[in-house]
Structure formats: structure tokens, C-alpha cells
């Protein structure tokens, strides 16, 4: 009988949350989570295939884990997530020591699959990668959350967009929305439990529609969740620029609970490239959307994703991306070199750029962005007070760190509990993080200086 499990997660926030669901399912059948693979008798690797590197990383990690089978003959290895979905049976031929492959739609079936394996005692391996036909994902009875103050909540899964570079529609399937009632019940429950932040998740989160009432859209859900009494911060990821309607922008403009940070993945600044990518917007339409956020009544920090070196990207196209980055002034950015993925439309395009050229472009882009971030941090944060949600102990092991509503990391001396809020004066900024001092401490020091300390 399997008792102890360990889950390792690669990839995006949806994967992180899928692992929380898996942990819930396993705990539900009486298993306990352990702190290292060595202590476990079930090792699960939740994988990512969005770029080739991530998929390769999976095989090398499995190779390391395999060794444990030598010392523990009952040790089981399972692969979950996008690579599991994509490779299915083929994964077992490449890594024959893998006992279980569970695709993105079959997570809920994990307890039954384990039961079958246990009953057969070392019998046949299990591969479950069917796509469910249902319109809504299967509800998971219990979720074990990784942190005690931010609750991830799935509102939709899958993607209908088919950007020509992206594997996600093939690994996650078509859009499936969760009923609004299920989302609201979960959201109210986590707030009752003391969570102060909610992160709504979906591959194109803002294309959400209630499967029971298609007129109930993302804007409606967002405003209902944001209004839950006791909830302090609401985030969502990842939206698609095309799917932001005026209703959702006005909800964001009105509801203070929604964090002042919106992720707007642009991918490229060049119209011919955006068209080849099938992003369904032009540079001009994207910039109009940026303007709408700038004028929505609150100050919103924008972040983005950019791919450099997409097939057919000429130097002039790349310059268009740099000029867009200069124009928008994003507060943060994730940048990637284009990586050809199986099944995608772009895999059939001719003329993948040389690796050195992709490297040159990504370095130029990152250099530009670093300068922008440093300048924005100086202008918008240095010398100002920010409300910080404390997350834990900083990397130095001494200070605390937390996040502003704009998702900036701030390190500061203190011993505040994770999940509490504190006002921090920003005293130093770098391109990626900031340093501050708690306002209450500064005030205490000032009082001490003004009146002296009487003993
Ligand atoms: N649904 C989300 C996540 C998509 S994958 C969204 O629309 O933002 C996350 C990011 O990975 C994408 O925004 C894109 O910038 C990058 N990405 C996706 N496929 C890629 C590929 N083949 N090569 C390089 N980067 C890629
Ligand atoms: Fe991928 Fe485009 Fe969907 S980036 S997840 S196909 S919106």
C-alpha cells in the first residue's frame, strides 16, 4: 500500500495548482506528503512542454530519480502534466522505468489508477491521457494549498486560440469553464479559512464564461470575487489581450481589491510577426488596450511576455518589438527565445533562426528592459511607502520579503508573519527587487530621536 508521496512541479502557475489538486486527491486516500523524494514511495513529476528545454529537463530529472528504484523495489514513478499528455505511451518507451503517465484531463482519476496498480502488485503500467468531452473540468474534492495566504483557484482550463507557436491547446485541450457557482463557493471558502489573496487561473483566463449561463462573463466573475468581504487582494493569470472587453476594464478600474498589476502578453511588436503568430491583434490594437488601462482610473503596472527570434522575424521586426517595449514601459517582462514545438503550426514554417541570433536579440531586449525597470522603480517606488503582503523569510535568511500590489518583491528587516500586511518605505531599488524599512519602525526611531530614551 502506497503511503508517502512527493510531487515536483515544473512550469506555470496552472501546473503549480494542478499539483495542489493532486496532493489533495492523494491526501484524500490517506497518503501523506513527505519533504524529499528519498522518503517517498510515490514520486510524481508534473511537467511542462511549452519550450523544448522544459521537456528535456524532465528526462534528465527522471534519470536521477530512477536510481531510487535500485534501493526501493516498491518505489513508483509517475509523470503528470503537459509532457505526459503530449507523449502518452511514447514516454514509457523512452523511460521504461516510469510506472504511470497521467494527462492533463485525467488528474481526478489518479486515485483509481493507483488503486489498480496496487492491486496488481507490480503489474502493468498505467497510461491515462484521454481528453474529456465534458464542457467543465471535473471538480476535485480537496486541494492542499502550498501557502497559507494566497489561494489559487481554477476558473477555466485549456485554450481555443491556437497561436501558431504554442503547444498548450494540444496539451490542455479546448477551453473548459468551471461553473461560476463552484468558483464562488471555493472563493468564499478560502476567504473564510483566512486566505487574504486569491489568484484566478486559466490559460486564457479572461475568455471565461459560465457554462450554465454564457452571459455571465469574466467581468461578472471578477467583480463578484473581488467583492467577497475579507478578501484583500485579487489577481488573475493569464489573460489574452484580445479577450479584454470594456466591462472587464471598468471592473478593474473600480474594484480596489483587484491588484494594480495586469499581465498583457504581447509576444511581438511587429504586425507581420503578430499575424504569423496568429495573435489576433495588431500592434495598434494592443497599444489601444494599453491606453485603456492607463485611463481606467487607477494606476496599473503592466507586465508582458515576449518571444524573440520567431520564424521570419527580421531585424526590422525585432526593432519594432524594442520600440513597443520602449513605448509601453512595462514594469516587468518574461522573455523567451522561440522554441519549435511539435504539433504546432509554426513547426512547419521554414527558416528557424540561428541560436546565436536568438541569443543576441534576447540579450538586447533584456538589457533594454532592465534599464526601464530600474528607471520605473526609481520614479514610482523609491522614497515612497508601499503596502506589502508578507510572504516569508528573504533569501539572506534574516530579513522578510513580501509583495506590493504591483507584484514587486520588497525585502525588509522584521519578523512579521507570512500573510500579514505592513507599510514599508522603499529605501533602495534594483531592477528586480527593492529594499525597505517598515514604517512603524521608522516612526519609533524618529520618536526616540526626538524625545530621547529615558531609562
Ligand atoms: N496562456 C498563457 C500562457 C502561454 S505559455 C498566455 O497566453 O500567456 C507562456 C508563454 O510562453 C507565452 O506567453 C509565450 O511568451 C511563451 N511561449 C509559448 N510557446 C513558446 C514557444 N514555442 N517558444 C518560446 N516561447 C513560447
Ligand atoms: Fe498558447 Fe496562445 Fe493559448 S500563447 S495558451 S495558444 S492564447
**DSSP string of 27-56?**
HHTT-EE-SSGGG-SEEEEEE--SSHHHHH
State the closest ligand 1 atom to the C-alpha of 341, by its place in the atom list counted from 1. 22
State the residue range of the domain holding 436.
385-454
Domain assignment present for residue 445? The answer is: yes
- For residue 422, pLDDT over 80 is answered with yes
The C-alpha angle with vertex 203 and arms to 344 and 347, in degrees rounded to 5, equals 10
Closest ligand to C-alpha of residue 175 is 2
- Which among 128, 153, 176 is the end of a domain? 128
State the average pLDDT for the chain. 95
In this model, does residue 238 exceed pLDDT 60? yes
Highest mean pLDDT among 113-127, 413-427, 438-452: 413-427
300, 262 in Cβ contact below 8 A?
yes
Question: If pLDDT is split at 50, 70 and 90, which confidence band does 448 have?
Answer: confident
pLDDT of 250 above 70: yes
> Could you tell me the CA-to-CA distances from 69 to 40, 45, 57, 61 in Å, in that order?
11, 15, 20, 14
Distance 103 CA to ligand 2 centre (A): 19
Q: Is 51 in the pocket of ligand 1 (CB under 6 A)?
A: yes
Element (H, E) at 315: helix 315-328
Q: What is the residue with the minimal CA distance to atom 12 of ligand 1?
A: 305
Please check whether residue 345 lies inside any domain of the structure.
Answer: no
Domain membership of residue 338 (yes or no) is: no
Ligand 1, residue 263: give the atom nearest the CA: 8
- Ligand 1 binding pocket includes 203 (Cβ within 6 Å): yes
Nearest to 431 by CA among 361, 350, 374: 374
Which ligand neighbours the alpha carbon of 164 most closely?
Answer: 2
Note the pLDDT of residue 134. 75
How far is the C-alpha of 12 from the C-alpha of 205, rounded, in Å? 14
Residue 120 has pLDDT above 90, yes or no: no
The answer to whether the beta carbons of residues 245 and 219 sit under 8 Å apart is: yes
What CATH number does the domain containing 86 carry? Answer: 3.40.50.12160
Ligand 2 centroid to 280 CA: how many Å? 11
Q: Looking at residue 453, what is its pLDDT? A: 58
DSSP H stretches of helix in 148-270: 168-172, 180-192, 218-226, 246-254
Helical segments of 329-428, H only = 355-380
Ligand 2 binding pocket mutation candidate from 86, 168, 238, 263 (most atoms within 8 A of CB): 168
Domain boundary pick from 71, 97, 128 = 128
pLDDT tens, position by position, 193-217: 999 999 999 999 999 999 999 999 9
Rounded to the nearest whole angstrom, what is the distance from the C-alpha of residue 112 to the centroid of ligand 1? 33
Number of residues assigned to the chain: 455
pTM given for the model: 0.96
pLDDT tens sequence across 133-161? 777 889 998 999 999 999 999 999 999 99
Phi-psi region of 195 (alpha: psi -120 to 50; beta: other; left: phi over 0): beta
- Asked, for residue 439, whether it belongs to a domain, the answer is yes
The mean per-residue pLDDT over the stretch 102-115 comes to 94
Distance 161 CA to ligand 2 centre (A): 6
Determine the angle formed by the axes of helices 218-226 and 246-254, rounding to 10 degrees: 10
C-alpha cell at 63: 534519470
Position 403 in a domain: yes
Total domains present in the chain: 2
Contact (Cβ atoms closer than 8 angstroms) between residue 293 and residue 302: yes
pLDDT score at 121: 60
Q: Among 100, 128, 156, which residue terminates a domain?
A: 128
CA dihedral (218, 222, 225, 229) in degrees, to 10, reads -160
Verify whether ligand 2 is closer than 6 Å to residue 105 (CB atom). no
pLDDT: which is higher, 443 or 124: 443
DSSP strand pairing (261-263 vs 301-308): parallel
Task: Name the closest-CA residue to atom 1, ligand 1.
Answer: 203
Does residue 108 lie within any of the structural domains? yes
* Residue 166, ligand 1, Cβ within 6 A: yes
Compute, in angstroms, the gap from residue 112 CA to the centroid of ligand 2.
Answer: 31
User: If you measure from the C-alpha of residue 50 to the centroid of ligand 1, how many angstroms do you get, rounded to a whole number?
Assistant: 7
Judge whether 340 lies within some domain: no
pLDDT in tens, 79-108: 999 999 999 999 999 999 999 999 999 999
Query: Rounded CA gap, 34 and 47, in Å?
Result: 19
Domain of 432, CATH number, reads 2.40.50.140
For the beta carbon of residue 45, count every other beta carbon within 10 angstroms.
24
Is residue 238 reached through a cis peptide bond, with omega within 30 degrees of 0 on the bond before it?
yes
Q: What is the mean pLDDT of residues 154-175?
A: 96
Amino acid at each position: 500500500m502506497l503511503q508517502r508521496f512527493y510531487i515536483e512541479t515544473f512550469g506555470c502557475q496552472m501546473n503549480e495548482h494542478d499539483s495542489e489538486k493532486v496532493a489533495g486527491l492523494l491526501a484524500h486516500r490517506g497518503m501523506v506528503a513527505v519533504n524529499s523524494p528519498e522518503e517517498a514511495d510515490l514520486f510524481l513529476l508534473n511537467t511542462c512542454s511549452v519550450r523544448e528545454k522544459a521537456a528535456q529537463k524532465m528526462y534528465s530529472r527522471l534519470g536521477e530519480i530512477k536510481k531510487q528504484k535500485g534501493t526501493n523495489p516498491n518505489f513508483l514513478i509517475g509523470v503528470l502534466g503537459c509532457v505526459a499528455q503530449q507523449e502518452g505511451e511514447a514516454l514509457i518507451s523512452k523511460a521504461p522505468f516510469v510506472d504511470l503517465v497521467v494527462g492533463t484531463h485525467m488528474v481526478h482519476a489518479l486515485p483509481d489508477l493507483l488503486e489498480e496498480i496496487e492491486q496488481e502488485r507490480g503489474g502493468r503500467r498505467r497510461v491515462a491521457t484521454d481528453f474529456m468531452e465534458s464542457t467543465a473540468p471535473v471538480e476535485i474534492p480537496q486541494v492542499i494549498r502550498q501557502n497559507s495566504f494566497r489561494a489559487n483557484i481554477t476558473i477555466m482550463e485549456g485554450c481555443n486560440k491556437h497561436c501558431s507557436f504554442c503547444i498548450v491547446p494540444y496539451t490542455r485541450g479546448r477551453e473548459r469553464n468551471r461553473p461560476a457557482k463552484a468558483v464562488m463557493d471555493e472563493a468564499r471558502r478560502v476567504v473564510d479559512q483566512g486566505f487574504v489573496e486569491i489568484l484566478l487561473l486559466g490559460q486564457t483566463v479572461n475568455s471565461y464564461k459560465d457554462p450554465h449561463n454564457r452571459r455571465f462573463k469574466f467581468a461578472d466573475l471578477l467583480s463578484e470575487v473581488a467583492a467577497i468581504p475579507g478578501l484583500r487582494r485579487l489577481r488573475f493569470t493569464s489573460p489574452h489581450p484580445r479577450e479584454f472587453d470594456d466591462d472587464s476594464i471598468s471592473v478593474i478600474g473600480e474594484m480596489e481589491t483587484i491588484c494594480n498589476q495586469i499581465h498583457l502578453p504581447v509576444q511581438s511588436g511587429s504586425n507581420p510577426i503578430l499575424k504569423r503568430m496568429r495573435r489576433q491583434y495588431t500592434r495598434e490594437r494592443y497599444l489601444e488596450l494599453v491606453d485603456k488601462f492607463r485611463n481606467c482610473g487607477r494606476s496599473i503596472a503592466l507586465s508582458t511576455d515576449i518571444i524573440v527570434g520567431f520564424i521570419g522575424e527580421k531585424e526590422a521586426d525585432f526593432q519594432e518589438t524594442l520600440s513597443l517595449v520602449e513605448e509601453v514601459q512595462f514594469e516587468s517582462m518574461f522573455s523567451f527565445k522561440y522554441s519549435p514545438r511539435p504539433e504546432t503550426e509554426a513547426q512547419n514554417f521554414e527558416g528557424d533562426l540561428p541560436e546565436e541570433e536568438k541569443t543576441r536579440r534576447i540579450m538586447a531586449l533584456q538589457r533594454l528592459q532592465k534599464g526601464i525597470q530600474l528607471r520605473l522603480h526609481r520614479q514610482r517606488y523609491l522614497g515612497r511607502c508601499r503596502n506589502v503582503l508578507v510572504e516569508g523569510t528573504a533569501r539572506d535568511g534574516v530579513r522578510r520579503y513580501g509583495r506590493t500590489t504591483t507584484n514587486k518583491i520588497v525585502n525588509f528587516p522584521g519578523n512579521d508573519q507570512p500573510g500579514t500586511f505592513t507599510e514599508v518605505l522603499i529605501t533602495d531599488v534594483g531592477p528586480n527587487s527593492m529594499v525597505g524599512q517598515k514604517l512603524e519602525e521608522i516612526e519609533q526611531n524618529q520618536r526616540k530621536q526626538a524625545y530621547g530614551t529615558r531609562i
